Amino acid sequence: MILFLNGAFLPEEQAMIAASDRGFLLGDGVFETLRVRNGLPFQWAEHLGRLERGAALLRLALARSLDQLRTDTAELIRRNRFRDGALRITLTRGPGPRGYSITGAGPPTLMMALHPAPAPGSTPPSGERLVTSSFRMAAGDPLAAVKTTSKALWIVARAEAEERGADEALLLNTDGCLAEATAANLFWIERGAVVTPPVSAGLLPGITRALVLEMARAFGLSAEERNAPPRALLEAEGVFLTLSTRGIVPVSSLDGRSLGVSPLVSTLQGAYEERLRAKTSG
Query: Digits of tens for pLDDT over the chain (282 positions)?
Result: 999 999 999 999 999 999 999 999 999 999 999 999 999 999 999 999 999 999 999 999 988 888 999 999 999 999 999 999 999 999 999 999 999 999 999 999 999 999 998 766 566 777 999 999 999 999 999 999 899 999 999 999 999 999 999 999 999 999 999 999 999 999 999 999 999 999 999 999 999 999 999 999 999 999 999 999 999 999 999 999 999 999 999 999 999 999 999 999 999 999 999 999 999 986
Q: Which of 90, 116, 142 is the last residue of a domain?
A: 116
pLDDT score for 126? 78
Number of domains composing the chain: 2
pLDDT score for 282? 64
Q: Supply the range of the domain harboring residue 100.
A: 2-116
pLDDT score for 125? 72
Q: Which of 116, 144, 179 is the last residue of a domain?
A: 116
Same domain, 13 and 144: no
Same domain, 161 and 219: yes
Let me know if residue 121 belongs to a domain: no
Same domain, 174 and 214: yes
Same domain, 68 and 150: no
Let me know if residue 252 belongs to a domain: yes
If we measure between CA atoms, which residue out of 145, 183, 153 comes closest to residue 57? Answer: 145
Same domain, 79 and 217: no
Q: How far apart are CA 173 and CA 164, in angstroms?
A: 20
Name residue 34's beta-bridge partners.
87
pLDDT score for 280? 92
Q: How far apart are CA 153 and CA 147, in angstroms?
A: 13
Same domain, 160 and 251: yes
Same domain, 145 and 261: yes
CA 107 to chain CA centroid, nearest Å: 26
Q: Which of 116, 142, 157 is the last residue of a domain?
A: 116
pLDDT score for 119? 67
The total number of residues shown for the chain amounts to 282
Same domain, 247 and 111: no
CA 174 to chain CA centroid, nearest Å: 21
Q: How far apart are CA 94 and CA 102, in angstroms?
A: 10
Query: What region does 253 belong to: left with phi over 0, alpha with psi -120 to 50, or beta?
Result: beta
Same domain, 18 and 104: yes
CATH number at residue 17: 3.30.470.10
Let me know if residue 123 belongs to a domain: no
pLDDT score for 121? 57
pLDDT score for 19? 96
Same domain, 136 and 273: yes
Name residue 109's beta-bridge partners.
92
pLDDT score for 122? 62
Let me know if residue 122 belongs to a domain: no
pTM of the model: 0.94
Let me know if residue 69 belongs to a domain: yes
Let me know if residue 53 belongs to a domain: yes
Same domain, 18 and 103: yes
Same domain, 263 and 137: yes
CATH number at residue 132: 3.20.10.10
